[in-house]
Structures are given as structure tokens and as C-alpha cells.
Structure 1
Amino acid sequence: MDELFDQNTKAVPTSRISRLSKLGVLASKVAGNMLVDGGKELMQGKSPAIRDLLISEKNLKQLADKLATMRGAAMKAGQLLSMDAGSLVPPDMAVLLERLRADAVTMPAVQLLDVLEKNWGDEWQDQFQRFSFKPIAAASIGQVHKGLTLDHRELAIKIQYPGVRESIDSDLDNVFGLLRFSGLIPKDLDLTPLVDEARRQLKLEADYRHEGQQLRNYAANMATFSRREELMFPAYHEDLSTDQILCMSYMQGQSIDKLAYASQEERNRVMSLMMELFFAEFLDYRCVQTDPNLANFLYNLESKQLVLLDFGATREFDWTFVDNYQEALRAATFEDRNALASALDKLGFFVQGKEVKNLDVVLDIFVLATEPLRFKGSYDFSGSQLAEKIRDKGLSMSSDPDAWHSPPPDILFLHRKLAGLYLMATRFNASIDMNRLVSRYW
């Protein structure tokens, strides 16, 4: 039990008032920092820009720290905003996004024990030979512990932070309101569809029984995947799982970052597997694990298998959407701009009845993003500078609020995964024959 206290923990605020007060304190600190920094610049004879003062490194760090401490939807909102775009976001946001991906803050022993007793009863330890109180991983909604049951099942046990599910609605309203007020989000950009979808998605992710069923469905899908033998994923243990506790078989593996030290051939193989898995998920099974966070994967050095860990962000798509998006994907790959515009219009990418002022830029970005798909032979992600090209093209969009439109959430979540895979391929200096790979699924 000594290890219960051998870690850096912070209590999760559980009531709506306490969570709102956290954001109120944050707003006061940000305003105070702006006054101090602005005063310094005025004394130096400079004319400070309000936005520069607002997104100073100090303010972004405090914002990230506060969201990470709150966990739950507050932290997830920041992650969703980033869409895991990596180098595609302005450098000013790097501190915030990196802090939110670190996922290092855990709940103290008293909260952990309270959750365990409420879900498993006072005698819960009688079911285990061993239970590690020190988490092996922590994320926005829960933290993971390792346990060995009396019947010798080695489990990874995901335990939800208290108050997370109940605070989803208020957290999203408060965080998006704060970010909009701060100017980090354009005031005239309608994010209602994204916020509503984030609300729905988070409520599903906070239902661990639902995630368990998603894991079972995913395993059933993968039974017919052509490269199934290269994958590993856990089994769902329903008898010990509840709405707040998810029990899965413990999976052996190293951090996916270790892939950076593997041979070029192995890096290419694993990244081609991840790319092919994405296209199979979307085009064959209509069910995609949409979160490309590196922490959701392990690499088993002995078996040379990719280990899939998290299924909370698994998202189902209807056939109409899949068909229309495949039409857009093919049109962009073959650089047919008229067909691409038509397909994006069917997908609801543009506001109906309004002139699409950024149409050419949007089409350019889609055509750029499909560059690997039309390249003949192995595409070198490390030497392509594709992320920078897409970022620069995005920066050329009109700043007129009427020209902006938040695409349908289905597209945003899909692009989140694909962008994350592109960046992962770049990170591991992979070369992949994307044209041959995707042609199997047209």
C-alpha cells in the first residue's frame, strides 16, 4: 500500500461548481499575465498586440495545466481542438497540445479507492492475487492499473475519474466558451455541430460497457482482415467490468516510439499495416478507431505485432457517407477538381446557399493530402514536407468569417485519424506504396 502515495497526484474536481471555479481562476490568471506582460512591453516603448499577450507561452502552459488537472471533457476538448494535427498547428499552440498529450496527472489514492469500492464493493481485493495501485497509464477520462485475479487472469484495468461523466455537458460549454472568449477560436466560426458531436462522443467514451462491446465488435471485424496475424488486441472481461471500470487482458509490448529504432524495413511494414488497417476499417467495415494518439498502440518486439489498446473513440459511419467520401477521395487522387467539389458538396462540407469563398483552397488541400495515394512506388513521408505544404495552404484561406465553415463532424474525426497516421509515418521516416495499398479497397 506504500506505493499508493509514491506518485505525483492531483485530485479530480468532481462537482460542476468546483470545475467551473477552476476555469474562473484560470481566466483571472490569464488576464493578470496579460496586464503584467503588456505593461512590460509598454515600458520598453513597444505597442503590445492583444492576441500575442493572450497566447503567450505562460498563458498556454497555465491553460494546459488546468485542463490536464480537470481531466475529463475539459482536457478532451483541448485534444479534440488540436485534432492531433502536430506540425500543422501554429507554433504558439505547441505548449498546450504537448501538455495535453502527456497525460501524466493521476488521481490520489483516496479517490481511486472510492471508485473501486463503489463499483466492486468493500471486499473488492478478495478477487485479486495482485493489484497495482500505481497506474501504468493515465489519460483524459481514466487511468489504467494492472491486476492478477484469483483465477490467474492478468488484466489491464481502466478506471474512470470520478465526476467525469456527469461533467461532460458543463465542461464542454465552459471550455469552448472560454476559448472563444479568449480569441483562440474565431468568434464567428460556428462550432455547434462539433461541440454537439464531441458531447455525444465523450458520453459514449465515458460508458466503459459500450467500449467493451466496441472491442468485441472490432475483433469480429478483424477476423476477415487480410493482415490479421500482424495485429494483437485485448479480450474484454465483462464479468469484472462496469460503467466506470473496463477490464481487458493485459497486453505485452513496448511503446510504439521504439519503432524509431527498428530497421527501415520494419518501420515501413508497420506503418503500411497501420495505413491499410485504416482503409479496411473505413471502406470495408465502416468502423474506425479515430484516435491516432501514440499511447493507443504498442509494438511487440518478440512477435513483431502491432498492439491496439483503446477502442473508446471507435466510430461507425453509414454507407452513404462512406460512398460519398470514397468518391471525394478518388476525385482528389486523380485531381478531378469538379468531381471533388461535387463529392464534398454531397458530404455537407460547404454551407448551403452561400458562396464558397475558400473553395479553391479547400480543393487544393484535398489534392495535396492525396499526394501519397497517386504517387507510383514507395512514397517517402520523411522527405515529402507534406504537412508543411498543407499547413501553408491552410494559412492562405480567407480570414473573412463568412468564408469559414466547420465541416461535418464525421469528416473531422476521419481526418483526425488520417492526419495522425501521416504524421506518424513522417515521425518514423517510413516509405510506403500507398497507391498499391489503397487500390485494393477502391
Structure 2
Amino acid sequence: MNDDELNATRAPGLPVPSSRLARLARLGSTGAGVAGRVAAGGLAELGRGRRPHLRDLVLTPGNVRRVTDQLADMRGAAMKLGQLLSMDAGEVLPPELAAIMARLRAGAEAMPPAQLRRVLDREWPPGWLGAFARFDVHPIAAASIGQVHRAVLKGGPTLAIKVQYPGVADSIDSDVANVGALMRMSGLLPRGFDLAPYLAEARAQLHAETDYAAEGAHLARFGGLLGGDDRFAVPDFVGEWSTRSVLSMSFMPGDPIETVEHASQAIRDRVARNLIELTLRELFDFGWMQTDPNFANYRWDAEGGRIVLLDFGATRRITPEVADLHRRLLTAALDGDPATLRALAAEVGVIGPDTSPAHANRLVAMAEIACAELRRNEPLDIAALDLPRRMQAEALALAEDGLVPPPLPMDALHVQRKIAGMYLLAARLRARVPVRELVEAHLGRTGPN
């Protein structure tokens, strides 16, 4: 790499709009474009003598493409919020909204080298380029908040350097507000659904994730917690080349975790078991949890037989109260105790004061579907269980019957998101996991009663 490469203006990449005005204009044009298409589509339907339905008008291929492309181009909070919603849609939102956001799980466009150079010149001391024997100008990964470059220090190690997109941290509040406005305009939210607490939590999480100094501390913490466990590999934090907007760490070789799908059954089972056990350790032993189960945050080092853990920006403190709540939930699940499950559902807020008895009964029945599987003594063939489809069918039936999901405690929601993500990954790997055995061990139980 040389100065010409970093200063190149015709290299591939798409500049990140960094000013609040530019980002507001992007979202405003998206909303106006969608609204115009909806209006035109509605008039066309009326002209055909048919009553238009807003959901059908919004979910045209053109509108889906327009919204997702615009959010992906903006990166930052706009894209990250779409990713969060697309993964959590089965929990709190209808599946149509997940369809709009699904593309946002893929990688983002990279920023051009000239914009990258300006960011690094601002964050690092003058003459920083001379410290590197090599700096790959093209990123090895580009996501919603930043992109990652491979670099080699002179006489030193190979680094993975995550560089935050300019303007992302300053635009979080306005991005979240404007994406929320787009969602409300879409008509896809259940009637009466309170989006505000979810937007507030997304805003808080995004502010935390743009603080790379805090992420560096989480990276170092997990490196210490897992230092003696050869099942996992955590990059070393490199503080001298890190700032609030640049995070440097040792480069860890590995392939996407999805490549384990093509490995032997024994390896697939072992990888899924280790990740599920790690989640239980985070919840009950560490008191800290990396709550973003995006598959891109896990790599597979086939040569070392290790799972590489990446991206600790979404790490959260697990309070004793949250751990105790999940301990009681799992105990009731294993004991087949619907009365306690109902009481805990009320304690969590899944069943609210305005929830009808009929809806409460159906919610407890939904919980019992998952609990019945957990009580099996044999390893679970997770892909064959098809729990997400069964649970989604029940949730849709409840929504059609008028249930409005109450706001849930965010700490519990983040834990549930991590658990759901590990379930989806284990299903992707077609793994068979002795889930009951793992849970019993972390609850201090020796086996079925």
C-alpha cells in the first residue's frame, strides 16, 4: 500500500453520507418515494374497481428495493437498525417487515480509499503510514458501523483494523427517529404496538457500539475469560493503534461459521454445543454477554479446531436479577410447571395487566411448546424441530386475534435474542445438541427429576 492507493478517488466504494443534513435528505427522499409509489398504486387499484390495502401497496418489489438499498448505502444507524429488526422480527414484528429488512444482514458497501485516509489521518498521529509494512486498502469486511482492513506493522504482527464510518456516531439519534417514522408510515406494525421503547433501546445500543474504546475493553475482558479455553479464539486488543473510532486487534484466520455446515456431523454437533454452552456461561457465570448473534461475528478455524469470536460492540452486563430470572424460567421449563411459567411471564411483562385470559392462556401454551422440547433427554435435532415456524404461526394467530405485544424488559429481550440466534445457527448447521444436559449442568441439577 502507498499514499496513492489511499488517496485514490476512482477506487471501488461508495462514500458514506456523514452530515446530518445529507442523511436526513436520504431518508426523506426514501419516505417521499415510497409514499408517492403507495399513492400511485392506490389510485391504480381504485381505477380497477378494487379497494387497495396499504400493506399490499407498501410491499411492492420496487418499494422493498428502494428502502433496503437506501439504508444499506447510508450504513450507520439506519442500516444497523434494519439489521436488528430483521433478526428480531419473529419476536416482536410481523414477517413482512422482516422481508423489507432482510437484505440488510448482508455486507455493506465499502467507503472509498480517500474517505478512509481522511478518517485515519484524523484518528492517528502524523506519519502513521510509515509504521506499516502493508495496509490493504480494500476491506476484508464492511458492515453497518465500520469496515475492517488487514494490515501488517513493520517488524510486528498482522492486525485487523476496524474503522468507523465518518458521521455515524453523530447521526444515530436522527437516523433512529427517521427510520422509526418510516416504519410507522408503512402501516406494517400491529395496531397499538408501541415502537418507542424499541427505538430508544436501539438508540442506546448504537451509541454503545460506536464507542470502540469500550468495545476494546470488552474484547480484552473476553480474551481473559476464555484465555484457557482452547475451543475458542479471541483476538488480542491492540491499544496503541485504537481510538474511539478505530479498533485494532490481532488478525485471526478463519472461515465463515456457515462453512461448518459442510463438515462432519461430529464437528457440526461440537460447534453448536460449544456455542450454546458459551451462551449459558455468559448468562450464569461471566455476568457479561455478547448479545449480537449475527453469524458474521463467528468464524471457524478449521486447522485449530476453534471458534473465532469477533465483534464485542454489543456486549452487555448481565445483572444477578436477569440471571436469576432466566434460572427460574429454565427450572420451570424443565419441571413442566405451567403455573410458574405463567407467573414468570407476568413478571417479565409478556403477559400484561391488559392481556385477556384467553390470550394469556395461548401465550403460556406457546412457551410450553418450546419447554416440551427442552425436556427431552436425548440430543435435540434442532433443524428438525422447526420451532421458529411453529412459534411464528402461533404469534401470527394471536396478532390476528387482536393481541398487542406489551413492551418487554430490554435486558431480557437481549438475552432472548442471543438464545434465538444460537438456535438459528445450530439449525443452520443441522446440529444435534444435548440441550437439556447443558442446561441441567448450569442450573446445578444432575438430571431429570
- TM-score scaled by length of structure 2: 0.91
1:308-387 alignment to 2 at 5 Å? 308-352=309-353, 358-387=359-388
Shift of 1:243: 0.3
Change (3 A) 1:6 1:286: farther
Q: 1:124 aligns to what?
A: 128
For 1:248 and 1:285, locate their aligned partners in 2 and report how far apart those are by CA, in whole Å. 22
| Conserved 8 A contact 1:103-1:138 | yes
Code of the residue aligned with 1:367 in structure 2: it is E
1:407-431 deviation line (CA, Å, top 9, x unaligned): 1111221121111111111111111
Change (3 A) 1:6 1:155: farther
For 2:376 and 2:348, locate their aligned partners in 1 and report how far apart those are by CA, in whole Å. 26
1:128-153 deviation line (CA, Å, top 9, x unaligned): 11000100001111000000012311
Q: 1:297 aligns to what?
A: 298
Shift of 1:434: 0.6
1:389-404 alignment to 2 at 5 Å? 389-399=390-400, 403-404=404-405
1:6-405 alignment to 2 at 5 Å? 8-42=12-46, 44-84=48-88, 92-93=96-97, 95-186=99-190, 188-223=192-227, 228-352=229-353, 358-399=359-400, 403-405=404-406
Code of the residue aligned with 1:236 in structure 2: it is F
Secondary structure class of the residue paired with 1:188: coil
- Of stretches 398-407 and 276-285 in structure 1, the one that deviates more from structure 2 is 398-407
Change (3 A) 1:357 1:194: farther
1:412 aligns with 2:416: no
For 1:405 and 1:110, locate their aligned partners in 2 and report how far apart those are by CA, in whole Å. 47
Code of the residue aligned with 1:416 in structure 2: it is R
Shift of 1:162: 0.3
- Runs (5+) with no aligned partner, structure 1: none
Code of the residue aligned with 1:76 in structure 2: it is K
- Of stretches 25-34 and 330-339 in structure 1, the one that deviates more from structure 2 is 330-339
For 2:370 and 2:165, locate their aligned partners in 1 and report how far apart those are by CA, in whole Å. 37
- TM-score scaled by length of structure 1: 0.93
For 2:41 and 2:334, locate their aligned partners in 1 and report how far apart those are by CA, in whole Å. 48
Secondary structure class of the residue paired with 1:157: strand
1:93-125 deviation line (CA, Å, top 9, x unaligned): 454333101123111222111100000134120
Secondary structure class of the residue paired with 2:109: coil
Shift of 1:80: 1.8
For 1:397 and 1:369, locate their aligned partners in 2 and report how far apart those are by CA, in whole Å. 17
Shift of 1:329: 2.4
Shift of 1:253: 0.6
For 1:7 and 1:263, locate their aligned partners in 2 and report how far apart those are by CA, in whole Å. 41
Secondary structure class of the residue paired with 1:242: coil
Shift of 1:223: 4.4
Code of the residue aligned with 1:250 in structure 2: it is F
**Percent identity (aligned):** 38
1:152-205 deviation line (CA, Å, top 9, x unaligned): 111000000000111111111111122112213236222332222222211111
Change (3 A) 1:404 1:317: same
Change (3 A) 1:85 1:195: closer
- Of stretches 236-245 and 169-178 in structure 1, the one that deviates more from structure 2 is 169-178
1:220-243 deviation line (CA, Å, top 9, x unaligned): 22247xxx2111110000011000
Shift of 1:61: 1.8
Shift of 1:39: 4.5
Change (3 A) 1:362 1:333: farther
| Conserved 8 A contact 1:73-1:164 | yes
For 2:329 and 2:357, locate their aligned partners in 1 and report how far apart those are by CA, in whole Å. 17
For 1:90 and 1:177, locate their aligned partners in 2 and report how far apart those are by CA, in whole Å. 17
Shift of 1:47: 3.2
For 2:422 and 2:408, locate their aligned partners in 1 and report how far apart those are by CA, in whole Å. 20
For 1:13 and 1:285, locate their aligned partners in 2 and report how far apart those are by CA, in whole Å. 39
1:235-262 deviation line (CA, Å, top 9, x unaligned): 0000110000000100011111211110
| Conserved 8 A contact 2:5-2:113 | no
Code of the residue aligned with 1:407 in structure 2: it is L
Q: 2:422 aligns to what?
A: 421
1:431 aligns with 2:432: yes
Once superposed, what is the RMSD of the aligned Cα atoms? 2.3
- Of stretches 109-118 and 179-188 in structure 1, the one that deviates more from structure 2 is 179-188
